[in-house]
Amino acid sequence: MVNTRPMALVTGASGGLGAEIARVLAQEGFDLLLVARSENKLQALKEELEVAHGIAAQVYPCNLAREDAALDLYDYVLGRGLRIDALVNNAGFGDSGAFHEADWQRQRDMVQVNVIALMQLTRLFVPHMVKRGCGMVLNLSSVAAFSGGPYMSVYYATKAFVLSLSEALSEELRGTGVTVTALCPGPTATGFESAASMGASSTMFRHAASASEVARDGYRAMRAGKAVCLQGAFTKVMAFGSRLVPRSVACKIALRMNR
């Protein structure tokens, strides 16, 4: 049965920014399809949000590093007759260390989750939105999109891809009623830092923003149909600064921050 309230699909909703974005969406009256690997955390969030906001949430546990995961998720949505009004491609992770020493499987999985799954879900759901003449996509990019990132090279490259893709789609879809927004946060207090094995070496996270603040700003930007949301002063300085200095200098600054 087609949902009567607007529904948002949020990937990476089991914690961090994804869970906070889901909280904002629930407050705003969206039903939710919550996606991540950690079923227990998704279930707990579903119960919290249904009680707090009277919305309906469903959980869909899956590993987006699997090649057919995005297609399986799409089939699930179609099979249930759900209408996705907002797609939030938030799932993602980073990894710290030298590229030539990194674990290949982990790097491959990062590209699969941060890039391929995001791209495929966008490709699958946007045609339905265009047909209806309305819909919103929020893609998680990062301040990392604005330069090369020594010692987090693949992660930075994935976020540059997400920013570039989102900006292009935002233009392509102008006039269709469908918007695509790239959210570019700076360091944010979530599970990201430990998942990326950044540990005590990370200086960037000393003044991390709160996930709830970033989620609120991202939601507002998505609602406003903005192509890019540079979240927080740090991201704005890095994004504008990267235009003023040669790319090699921006890359050296990133190197200092990542070490």
Ligand X SMILES: NC(=O)c1ccc[n+]([C@@H]2O[C@H](COP(=O)([O-])OP(=O)(O)OC[C@H]3O[C@@H](n4cnc5c(N)ncnc54)[C@H](OP(=O)(O)O)[C@@H]3O)[C@@H](O)[C@H]2O)c1
Catalytically annotated residue among 60, 151, 155, 156: 155
44 in Cβ contact with 50 (< 8 Å): no
One residue of 122, 179, 190, 258 binding ligand X per CB under 6 A: 190
The yes or no reply on residue 40 touching ligand X (CB under 6 A) is: no
Q: Name which of residues 95 to 124 contact ligand X (CB under 6 A).
A: 113
Contact residue for ligand X among 147, 166, 188, 258 (CB under 6 A): 188
Active site residue 155: yes
3-state secondary structure 28-45: CCCEEEEEECCHHHHHHH
Distance of closest approach, residue 14 Cβ to ligand X, in angstroms: 4
Q: Which stretch binds ligand X (CB under 6 A): 31-39, 70-78, 169-177, 221-229?
A: 31-39
- Residue 84 lies near ligand X (rule: CB under 6 A): no
25 binds ligand X (CB under 6 A): no
For residue 123, the minimal CB distance to ligand X (Å) is 18
Number of residues binding to ligand X, judged by CB under 6 A: 27
The region of 7-15, 22-30, 50-58, 218-226 touching ligand X under the rule CB under 6 A is 7-15
Site for ligand X in 140-179 (CB under 6 A): 140, 142
Could you give the residue numbers annotated as active site? Answer: 155
Judged by the rule CB under 6 A, the positions of this chain that interact with ligand X are 12-18, 36-38, 63-65, 90-93, 113, 140, 142, 185, 187-188, 190-192, 195
